[in-house]
């Protein structure tokens, strides 16, 4: 049971650290040879997929049982499908997991949504994601194999969280009335990926998110309390100097349900809300 991972970033690295031995050998891709050499470990060979495409990728696809896609699409479409669609279609791969984003839903004015909610992406990145989702689901149908799309909310975990941001002096408490975000810890993403690979459900779309949408300023204040720090001052959204990408996040507000993930996919969250997660991260030394 071997695994090929396209896009060996923060989330997929965490999955391989947690679950990789179960799927070994693993081949994963990054854009640069230097990064590939740095990330290669026992039972996980990291190779290049960018301007240079390592020749070992094709044969690895031929032998793989599982395929995890974390590489983002662009205006030209999904890069993996552009290069390897026919090879994947003819392979013996049993299950595909594609990591997407809840951004494909667009803005819903703070209302609760689930997988049946129509998608209305509000920016080009999310439109590219939605097109890639559709392409992977279509390939799964063509192969007669389950292709699962995991729509992830805001990702955080070790080294990437409000505690670390406070200690680094980069945390901000931006106030926008009614604004909430869902979040998901990387450990829980890994659990969802494993549930898709190890289960018997047909391919589908799953929201992978926590139980409680929360105002971003509340998370920062909670992290400050754990560290015994005074929280950063509140900044009205209108006065915040945000990058275009950050501003686009605040342009969407929705409450994302994880009922299907819990009840149908069978995922039990290690961190149902940001409170449990930040406490655990603090106890592990984050932000100190």
Q: Domains in the chain, start-ordered, CATH in brackets? A: 3-156+184-209+256-270 (3.40.50.720)
Q: Burial code of 170-205, b = ≥16 C-beta within 10 A, e = fewer?
A: ebbbbbbeebbbbbbbbbbbbbbbbbbbeeeeebbb
- pLDDT score at 158: 98
Q: How far apart are CA 176 and CA 195, in angstroms?
A: 36
- The Cα–Cα gap between 216 and 205 comes to 26
Q: Return all residues near 280 (Cβ < 8 A) that are at least 6 apart.
A: 271
Q: Residues 89, 143: contact at Cβ < 8 Å? A: yes
Q: Are 27 and 54 in contact (CB under 8 A)?
A: no
Tokens linked to 260: 């299907």
Question: Would you call 19 helix, strand, or coil by DSSP?
Answer: helix
Let me know if 273 is exposed, middle or buried by CB neighbors in 10 A (0-12, 13-18, 19+).
Answer: middle
In DSSP notation, 132-182 reads HHHHHHHHHHHHTS-EEEEEE-EEEBTTBSHHHHHHHT---EEE-TT--B-
* pLDDT, one tens digit for every residue, the chain (288 residues): 799 999 999 999 999 999 999 998 999 999 999 999 999 988 899 999 999 999 999 999 999 999 999 999 999 999 999 999 999 999 999 999 999 999 999 999 999 999 999 999 999 999 999 999 999 999 999 999 999 999 999 999 999 999 999 999 999 999 999 999 999 999 999 999 999 999 999 999 999 999 999 999 999 999 999 999 999 999 999 999 999 988 999 999 999 999 999 999 999 999 999 999 999 999 999 998
Residue that has been written with the tokens 């994963």 in this structure: 28
- Please give the pLDDT value at position 212: 97
Query: At which residue do the structure tokens 């729509």 appear?
Result: 151
Residue 4 CA to residue 25 CA, distance in Å, equals: 9
Q: Are 24 and 43 in contact (CB under 8 A)?
A: yes
């Amino acid at each position: 049971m071997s695994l090929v991972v396209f896009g060996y970033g923060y989330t997929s690295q965490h999955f391989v650290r947690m679950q990789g031995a179960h799927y070994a050998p693993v081949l994963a891709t990054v854009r640069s040879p230097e990064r590939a050499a740095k990330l290669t470990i026992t039972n996980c060979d990291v190779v290049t997929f960018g301007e240079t495409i390592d020749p070992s990728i094709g044969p690895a696809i031929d032998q793989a049982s599982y395929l995890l896609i974390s590489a983002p699409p662009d205006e030209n479409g999904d890069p993996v499908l552009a290069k390897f669609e026919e090879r994947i279609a003819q392979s013996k791969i049993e299950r595909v997991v594609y990591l997407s984003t809840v951004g494909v839903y667009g803005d819903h004015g703070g209302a609760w949504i689930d997988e049946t909610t129509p998608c209305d992406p509000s920016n080009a990145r999310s439109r590219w994601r939605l097109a890639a989702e559709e392409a992977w689901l279509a390939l799964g149908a063509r192969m007669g194999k389950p292709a699962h799309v995991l729509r992830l909310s805001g990702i955080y975990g070790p080294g990437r969280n409000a505690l670390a941001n406070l200690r680094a002096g980069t945390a901000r408490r931006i106030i926008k009335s009614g604004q909430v975000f869902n979040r998901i810890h990387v450990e829980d993403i890994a659990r969802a990926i494993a549930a898709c690979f190890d289960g018997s459900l047909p391919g589908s779309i799953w929201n992978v998110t926590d139980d409680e949408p929360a105002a971003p300023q509340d998370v920062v204040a909670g992290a400050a309390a754990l560290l015994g720090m005074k929280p950063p001052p509140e900044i009205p959204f209108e006065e915040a100097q945000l990058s275009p990408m950050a501003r686009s996040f605040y342009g969407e507000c929705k409450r994302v349900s994880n009922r299907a993930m819990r009840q149908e996919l069978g995922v039990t969250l290690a961190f149902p809300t940001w409170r449990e997660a930040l406490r655990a991260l603090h106890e592990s030394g984050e932000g100190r």
